[in-house]
Structure 1
């Protein structure tokens, strides 16, 4: 069991990988019944501090008893390649002994995480990194029963995944109730439930230390709940619950220099997790909204230049031509201050707030323009789907056979971190063992030119790539770097 760690300002960020966070809208599959997840009503009650010894001695046991059956262990098995020698990567030894001497062998590895039952038919929510690359996934309930599960949704952008019990054998499962995570306040008591280090189901307590934390993972939708409840390897995908026994978050990551808990843990808010869970329950598809603008945080200097009392908000720096933001009247220099009354501190906060609004809903965006604050009604839209003419797959007797491409548009360009006016075709798939794979093409490569012809659209690429020529001059962009290659036909 190991940790995936990231170094952040001298501190190791341990993401609990155990082995080795827009409006999300679900499109219901016609064969799947509509199922309603359990969602608690917003809590409008006042928080109370204990005022007597009796209140201080109150136990969390009733909450744990109610919630713990909904938390499961997740076991993921992977088949990985392992070389037979530590010198396999050394070019001298490879040349001297030959590549056959250093053949890799398959090796089975297992990892451990946690999950939360979100629907009584056997639908479980966990972290994507817990089951990533797994060839076999099983869950174990708190009563010892084990079930094989299928991966229904694996959403790397939010680091969430949905599992479904393959054969429930007539069993029903205790589902947890979702809370409105927007109702959380710093200082609220919370419990973390999972299986740290594989020792068995464990409950730890703490408080909400902070809200809307960013810079934790490389994700578009960073907006984490921070807690000092102890979270360790094995807790990934487990439940963070309030004292009503409602799910407020999915435990995901820790800051740590040692790999163990130091009281700085992070959970994906329930409002985001619920939307991904709904896709898994209904057998639907996750459709993400698109605002159509690039943004940056408002720092102290920008705030002063705009006449703001304090720096906060998302400053629009570029607007996608013809996109939803432009059609709603936004322009570069506007600052978005809130979404439906929820304060926006930076672009990550805006992305998350928009992420929890369904497609078609009207959101009220407060913006600052020319020193004046105003509210704009914005209809949440999905990114436009590519037309058939924007897609191409090459087959037959061609050097590019096996490659699929999509021509760039503003929404796709934004998603890939490119300028809105970027041109070319981006590779979306490469068939294993195909001539295209043999040529070295990879997913996300952007083909800019073939034999001195600019790739302005998918049709141009399809027409040219299907031809048989003696040599190909290819200009492509990979990981931000433009390269030119000559390949024989």
Structure 2
């Protein structure tokens, strides 16, 4: 139906065109006698002088920065069967054949020696890497180092770098503000040397994988596939971020892009160049975000800070005197509002440095001194020495029902064997949770172990048996703010809730 409707329309258009061209009876005006367009510009430079200056801002940015932003072309060699027709009886005899798969990203030349900053995900798995400059020159590059935790990678042009390499100027991402004008430069969809402009929408964004070190700049400057590793620059042409990812439901840009702050990327760059690995600080504890319920249960007036849910034996936090239930407010004289703040601040501290830590404990602020060590695989391994089997919502054991809506039982031999619970873990095991909770109790699972319980304004009580937890719940009054310390598969965290009489 669509084709039938389309062709007559096409014929009519073409026929009309032919008629117009062939009709030569109408007199033609003399060349140059027709006035086309208005004679006066709607807005003159002298009317709004700022317009001319503003118009030139991104022209200057483009001309000065584009030469230092390169196309990064990683090539991966995959082995697989040679293509064949379906049903080909000889397909079983096909031999393995290597296929070259190319991708496209961006990078920024940051050194006259030929060092290039890009994203780890751009070059991951590549056997060969080509660098294309905007002036048409092509170079081979080799990876100097990558850091998946920040998604930063460093390349270097092979051999002796040419003396006339265009080098980007690195700015200071700590001086940025929401609303600042910025431009994103890269190679989206293989469209080389593309510049788009926008503003900084927000700072200190945390997205996706919480195991990564994140402090993203959010921008509405268009970032698309191929922009990764390219430059986010300010109106002075200073690189203030490395474009990394977008928020999208279908892969296309919808006005939300993210860039790694250049100060964070630069630290990784320097470590990879001079040390071959990234040096990060480590203090050895587990944390969770403050919620309104947790803050109220602890007697705090704000949700700024992070709650210490576990302190690992022999690690810097324990040596400094930090305890479960502490709320970290400041470290190294920097305010801690979220867990992401704490991770980034600690990571930036040079190992061996002693720093002050301000914590909220028992209604008071306490100052401690903590000596930061290095985040190493050995340190991480010490914090993961015990894990029981993963839990499900299915209840495997009966327990004592309590007024809290949480049924519990003692840790006997059968339960320890079923859940692979270490002998040194003591507490009351959750066997069932009443349905219909809208608070944090709804996140509990059968197999969770209650090891501590407290009410606002009172000291925490150790829980080693189901009977002890039953006795604790029996003392609760309507409106009490309760905090339970839970051990799940070797990790501890707090569950807050307001007790209401059943």
Please confirm whether the aligned pair reaches a TM-score higher than 0.5, indicating the same fold: yes
Distance 2:360 2:85 in 1: 60
Partner Cα separation in structure 2 for residue 309 and residue 56 of structure 1: 48
Q: Which of 299, 305, 311 is the equivalent residue of 1:313?
A: 305
Number of the residue aligned with 1:333: 325
Q: Distance in 2 between matches of 1:202 and 1:76?
A: 19
What is the rounded CA distance, in whole Å, between the counterparts of 1:341 and 1:67 in structure 2? 36
For residues 383-398 of structure 1, what are the structure 2 equivalents within 5 Å?
383=375
- Given that 1:163 and 1:280 are in contact with CA atoms closer than 8 Å, whether structure 2 keeps it comes out as no
User: Structure 1 pair 101/200, CA: closer, same or farther in 2 (3 Å)?
Assistant: same
SS at match of 2:67: helix
Give unmatched runs, 5+ long, in structure 2. 1-46, 389-488, 490-502
C-alpha deviation, 1:180, in angstroms: 2.7
RMSD in angstroms over aligned alpha carbons? 2.9
Quick one: distance in 2 between partners of 1:368 and 1:297? 14
SS at match of 2:160: coil
Aligned partners of 1:71 and 1:117 also within 8 Å: yes
Corresponding position of 2:499: none
Distance 2:143 2:234 in 1: 28
Equivalent of 1:285 in 254, 271, 277: 277
Report the equivalent of 1:106.
98
Distance in 2, Cα, partners of 1:294 & 1:260: 36
Distance 1:63 1:169, change over 3 A: closer
Whether the 8 Å CA contact 2:179–2:200 is kept in 1: the answer is yes
> What SS does the corresponding residue of 1:260 show, helix, strand or coil?
coil
| Aligned mate of 2:255, from 258, 263, 288 | 263
**Residue equivalent to 1:125:** 117
Change in Cα spacing, 1:65 to 1:320, as seen in structure 2 (3 Å) is same
Partner of 2:245: 253
Counterpart of 1:78?
Answer: 76
Larger radius of gyration: 2
Shift of residue 53 of structure 1?
3.3
Q: For 1:351 and 1:357, how far apart are their aligned partners in 2?
A: 10
Give the equivalent residue in structure 2 for 1:62.
Answer: 60
CA distance in 2, matches of 1:112, 1:160: 16
Work out whether 1:301 is the aligned partner of 2:296: no
Of residues 188, 194, 203 in structure 1, which corresponds to 2:195?
A: 203
Q: Tell me if structure 1 keeps the 8 A contact 2:117–2:153.
A: yes
Residue 169 of structure 1: CA displacement? Answer: 4.9
**Distance in 1, Cα, partners of 2:348 & 2:146:** 18
Return the offset for 1:100.
Answer: 5.0
Q: Label 1:376 to 1:162 Cα distance change in 2 as closer, same or farther (>3 A).
A: same
> Deviation of residue 410 (structure 1)?
5.2
Q: Please tell me whether the aligned partners of residues 326 and 359 of structure 2 are also in contact (alpha carbons under 8 angstroms).
A: yes
2:137 is matched with 145
In structure 1, how many angstroms separate the alpha carbons of the residues matched to 2:211 and 2:359? 25
Does 2:403 match 1:411?
no
Partner of 2:39: none
1:221 aligns with 2:213: yes
Map 1:433-452 onto structure 2 (within 5 A): none
In 1, Cα distance between the equivalents of 2:96 and 2:210? 31
Partner of 1:189: 181
Judging changes above 3 Å, is the alpha-carbon distance between structure 1 residues 142 and 322 closer, same or farther for their aligned structure 2 residues? same
Does the CA contact (< 8 Å) of 1:160 and 1:273 recur in 2?
yes
SS of corresponding position for 2:243: strand
For 2:226, the equivalent position in structure 1 comes to 234
Instruction: State whether structure 2 residue 363 is matched by structure 1 residue 371.
Output: yes
Q: Which consecutive segments of 4 or more residues in structure 1 shift more than 4 A?
A: 83-88, 97-104, 420-423
Task: Assess if the C-alpha contact under 8 Å between 1:290 and 1:411 holds in 2.
Answer: no
The structure in which a higher percent of residues are helix is 2
SS in 2 for 1:119: coil
Partner SS, residue 134 of structure 1:
coil
Q: Decide whether the 8 Å contact of 2:306 with 2:329 is kept in 1.
A: yes
What TM-score, normalized to structure 2?
Answer: 0.62
Structure whose residues are more often strand by fraction: 1
The counterpart of 1:180, out of the listed 151, 166, 172, is 172
Call closer, same or farther: CA 1:85–1:65 in 2, change over 3 Å.
closer
Secondary structure, aligned partner of 2:207: coil
* 2:456 paired residue number: none
Separation (CA, whole Å) in 1 of partners of 2:263 and 2:120: 17
Per-residue deviation, 1:204? 1.1
* Residue 85 to residue 378, structure 1, CA distance change in 2 (3 Å): same
Cα distance change of structure 1 residues 137 and 304 upon mapping to structure 2, 3 Å threshold: same
Native 8 Å contact 2:280 2:346 kept in 1: no
| Alpha-carbon distance, 1:291 to partner | 1.2
